[in-house]
């Protein structure tokens, strides 16, 4: 008599190793070969045919689940696959995770079908399989289309509709924000910046310059846009370019920095303060014009960071100077008596600029 062991169940089991290989864009034979090299056949006393058959079954499951994963809330509501909540969370989070080098190549491009066809170049450049590049592109496009016109917090909208962790939602928020505002990220001078560098800066802008800022009076507006009232108020900061205020500002800054930075840097700032200040204020004013605001990262590098690099200023000294430049303004007479309402505007602008410049400053 032959004995047959039969197991019947309705709980869906996700093989995390195979799921990861499927997400990476591996074909069945590629995935089976990778597992074989890891010694899985010896571990389970199985044959290569067993491994290929099991891989086919798992990949078929993943393909069927993908239809639900494109709208993650359906994973919770569906009754076809009995998947426990922790596993649901895992498969959604992993499906929407991405490779930073791939996103860096996509960043700044329009999410069009034409650019999707160009993903072969992205795959060749990053070494990530084309199937995975396409999944990552489609995920970004899907998230963007879902939240681009929703009011309220961009991060919370992404978390609500895609059930992602806060960290991953913030990364997607940065992508949506940069894409929506058409920020330039692809110029050669910016090639040294990673996706995480851009995401760090974009999330600061979302927090301080968009409609989600605590200082904003219109929280119901779309978080993907810059706060228009804030941008208009930035124009009033141009008064700092007037000679009488420029000299006062410079005097306070130099007094604050005396003995805190090396003599050469102190002298450089003394002789170049006018240009230093003009650059910072022009960047602020340029945010009011869509064509100029698109170049915010390029302007920060070319007009502020690059000259400082040429002066051989350290990141530490530059941070001290920018902080003193910011802290000196509230000490000026006209700010105290004439324009105290500009204090929060100035802080919103400068706090973000200081942190972005510090993050973008090249290692020397």
pLDDT, tens only, 269-294: 999 999 999 999 999 999 999 888 99
pLDDT digits (tens, 9 = 90+) for 284-327: 999 999 888 999 999 999 999 999 999 999 999 999 999 999 99
Q: 11 - beta bridge partners? A: 82
User: Domain check: are 261 and 284 in the same one?
Assistant: yes
Same domain, 41 and 119: no
Choose the final residue of a domain: 43, 63, 95.
95
The model's pTM is 0.91
CA–CA gap between residue 88 and residue 76 (Å, rounded): 7
Return d(Cα 270, Cα 261) in angstroms, integer.
Answer: 12
My answer on whether 65 and 139 are in the same domain is no
Give a yes or no: residue 218 inside a domain. no
pLDDT for residue 185: 97
Q: Indicate the DSSP class of residue 300.
A: I
User: What's the token pair of residue 1?
Assistant: 């008599």
Same domain assignment for residues 251 and 305: yes
Domain span holding position 258: 229-360
pLDDT value at 76 more than 90: no
Q: Is residue 276 one of the residues assigned to a domain? A: yes
Here the tokens at position 204 are 């600061």
Residues 293 and 305 in one domain: yes
Q: Where among 37, 66, 95 does a domain terminate? A: 95
- The reply to whether 4 falls in a domain is no
Evaluate whether residue 304 is within a structural domain. yes
Asked whether residue 9 is domain-assigned, the answer is no
**Which of 31-40, 66-75, 95-104, 330-339 is least confident?**
330-339
Residue 10: inside a domain, yes or no? no
Is residue 39's pLDDT more than 90? no
Read off the DSSP letter of residue 107.
T
pLDDT at 281: 96
What local confidence, expressed as pLDDT, does residue 4 receive? 67
Phi-psi region of 108 (alpha: psi -120 to 50; beta: other; left: phi over 0): left
Instruction: With a cut of 60, say whether residue 219 has pLDDT above it.
Output: no
> 271 and 162, same structural domain?
no
142 lies in the same domain as 202: yes
Has residue 5 been placed in a domain? no
- Together in a domain, 309 and 209: no
Give yes or no: residues 201 and 252 share one domain: no
User: Does residue 5 register a pLDDT over 70?
Assistant: no
Q: Are residues 253 and 337 in the same domain?
A: yes
Other C-beta atoms lying within 10 Å of the C-beta of residue 305: 21
Spacing of C-alpha 222 from chain mean position: 18
Query: CA 282 to CA 288: how far, in whole Å?
Result: 10
User: 151-189 pLDDT, tens per residue?
Assistant: 888 999 999 999 999 999 999 999 999 999 999 999 999
Residue 220: which pLDDT band, with cuts at 50, 70 and 90? low
Residue 188 lies in a domain: no
Both 296 and 321 in a single domain? yes
* Structural domains counted in the chain: 3
Non-local (6+) Cβ contacts of 228 within 8 A are: none
Q: Are residues 87 and 112 in the same domain?
A: no
In the listed set 95, 126, 154, which residue is the last one of a domain according to the structure?
95
């Amino acid at each position: 008599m032959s004995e047959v062991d039969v197991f019947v169940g309705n709980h869906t089991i996700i093989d995390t190793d195979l799921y990861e290989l499927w997400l990476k864009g591996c074909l069945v034979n590629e995935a089976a070969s990778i597992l074989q090299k890891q010694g899985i056949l010896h571990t389970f006393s199985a044959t290569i045919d067993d491994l290929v058959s099991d891989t086919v079954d798992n990949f078929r499951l993943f393909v069927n689940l993908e239809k639900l994963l494109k709208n993650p809330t359906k994973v919770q509501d569906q009754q076809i696959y009995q998947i426990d909540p922790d596993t649901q969370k895992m498969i959604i989070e992993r499906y929407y995770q991405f490779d930073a080098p791939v996103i860096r190549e996509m960043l700044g491009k329009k999410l069009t079908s034409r650019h999707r066809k160009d993903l072969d170049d992205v795959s060749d450049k990053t070494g990530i399989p084309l199937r995975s590049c396409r999944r990552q592109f489609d995920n970004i496009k899907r998230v963007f289309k879902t939240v681009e016109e929703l009011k309220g917090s961009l991060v919370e909208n992404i978390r609500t509709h895609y059930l992602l962790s806060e960290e991953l939602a913030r990364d997607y928020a940065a992508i949506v924000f940069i894409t929506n505002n058409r920020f330039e990220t692809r110029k050669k001078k910016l090639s040294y910046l990673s996706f995480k560098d851009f995401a760090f800066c974009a999330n600061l802008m979302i927090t301080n310059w968009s409609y989600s800022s605590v200082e904003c009076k219109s929280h119901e507006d779309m978080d993907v846009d810059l706060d228009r009232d804030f941008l208009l108020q930035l124009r009033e900061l141009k008064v700092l370019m007037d000679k009488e205020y420029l000299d006062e500002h410079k005097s306070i800054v130099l007094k604050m920095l005396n003995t805190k930075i090396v003599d050469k840097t102190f002298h450089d700032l003394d002789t170049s303060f006018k240009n230093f200040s003009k650059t910072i204020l022009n960047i602020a004013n340029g945010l009011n014009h869509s064509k100029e605001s698109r170049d915010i990262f390029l302007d920060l590098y070319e007009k502020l960071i690059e000259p400082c690099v040429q002066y051989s200023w350290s990141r530490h000294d530059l941070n001290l100077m920018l902080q003193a430049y910011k802290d000196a303004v509230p000490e000026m007479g006209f700010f105290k008596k004439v324009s105290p309402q500009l204090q929060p505007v100035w802080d919103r602008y400068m706090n973000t600029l200081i942190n972005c410049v510090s993050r973008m400053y090249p290692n020397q």
